[in-house]
């Protein structure tokens, strides 16, 4: 609840940088408005303004550090290797102190090309880990060569290539494989799973919006548009199935013994 409104938001965990380094952060989509407490009205945010970013940044910093300290006191946060000294409470407190003084980056803006473009951008990261095949250049005796972007440099020179030894490439990639049962995507508020269907129906009724997947014909009959089964991942156009080839035998089947005369 924010300012008496019930909001909805979707968060996607993103743990990697362009060079496959460990760079955990969260991409979030927040609806620009919400239901009134009595659920009778839709209250939209002011044009061009949603939340004060500086206030949000400092609030996030405080809540994050509070929760970090809490799990440390419960013994759920342990350190190993070069960081083992942080298992001492005094050392941990000293290490944490500068984090309270520096500015934390919380970036919020209205999508330039509209909500659909934003969802299309974010969807590329929901079921992909660390790197796509298009960024892989070569695999040879020197290692794995890949494209990456150096965001500290402006212009075309930020697009570069690097070569990593095979074991280093595997190490960086495995940094971003989440533990079993860990959810990369979380939905909160109005689009939380238990009440999402009911909430969306209420919002559409208040805004007098027909779901995009339904088409109303001239005689008032509502038909559901069935999305294409196969979509080209490059251009987004629906793919047409021309033929389906059935395999004649299981893949990697043992060789068939032939009878000898």
Question: What is the three-class DSSP state of 11?
Answer: strand
Tokens found for residue 158: 């930020």
Question: What is the three-class DSSP state of 124?
Answer: coil
Question: What is the three-class DSSP state of 92?
Answer: helix
- What would the DSSP string read from start to end of 18-53? TTS-EEEEEEEEE-SEEE-TTSS-EEEPPTT-SS-H
- Asked if the model's pLDDT at residue 132 lies above 70, the reply is yes
> Which contacts qualify for 196-199: CB closer than 8 Å, 24 or more apart?
199/8, 199/35
pLDDT digits (tens, 9 = 90+) for 104-128: 887 777 777 777 787 887 777 777 7
Rounded CA-CA distance 216/228 in Å is 19
What was the pLDDT predicted at 30? 82
Our measurement of the distance from residue 136's CA atom to the centroid of its chain's CA atoms, rounded to an integer in Å, reads 21
Q: How confident is the model at residue 260 (pLDDT cuts 50, 70, 90)?
A: low
pLDDT digits (tens, 9 = 90+) for 184-195: 888 888 888 888
In contact, 76 and 29? CB cutoff 8 Å: no
- Asked if the model's pLDDT at residue 129 lies above 60, the reply is yes
Across the range 199-216, mean pLDDT stands at: 76
Q: Give residues with Cβ within 8 angstroms of 57, minimum separation 6.
A: 103, 104, 105, 106
């Amino acid at each position: 609840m924010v300012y008496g409104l019930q909001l909805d938001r979707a968060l996607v965990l993103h743990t990697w940088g362009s060079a496959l380094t460990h760079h955990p952060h969260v991409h979030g989509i927040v609806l620009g408005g919400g239901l009134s407490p009595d659920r009778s009205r839709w209250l939209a945010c002011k044009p061009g303004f949603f939340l004060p970013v500086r206030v949000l940044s400092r609030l996030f910093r405080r809540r994050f550090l509070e929760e970090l300290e809490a799990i440390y006191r419960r013994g759920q946060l342990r350190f190993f290797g070069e960081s083992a000294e942080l298992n001492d409470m005094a050392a941990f407190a000293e290490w944490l102190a500068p984090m309270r003084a520096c500015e934390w980056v919380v970036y919020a803006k209205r999508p330039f090309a509209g909500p659909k473009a934003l969802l299309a951008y974010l969807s590329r990261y929901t079921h992909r880990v660390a790197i796509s095949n298009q960024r892989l250049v070569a695999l040879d005796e020197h290692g794995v060569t890949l494209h990456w972007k150096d965001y500290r440099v402006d212009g075309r020179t930020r697009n570069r290539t690097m070569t990593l030894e095979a074991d280093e490439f595997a190490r960086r990639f495995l940094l971003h494989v989440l533990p079993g049962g860990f959810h990369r995507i979380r939905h909160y508020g109005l689009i939380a799973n238990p009440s999402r269907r009911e909430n969306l129906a209420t919002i559409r009724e208040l805004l007098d919006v027909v779901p995009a997947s339904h088409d109303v014909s001239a005689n008032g009959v509502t038909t559901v548009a069935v999305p294409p089964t196969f979509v080209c991942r490059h251009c987004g156009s629906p793919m047409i199935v021309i033929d389906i080839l059935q395999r004649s035998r299981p893949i990697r089947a043992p060789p068939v013994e032939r009878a000898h005369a």
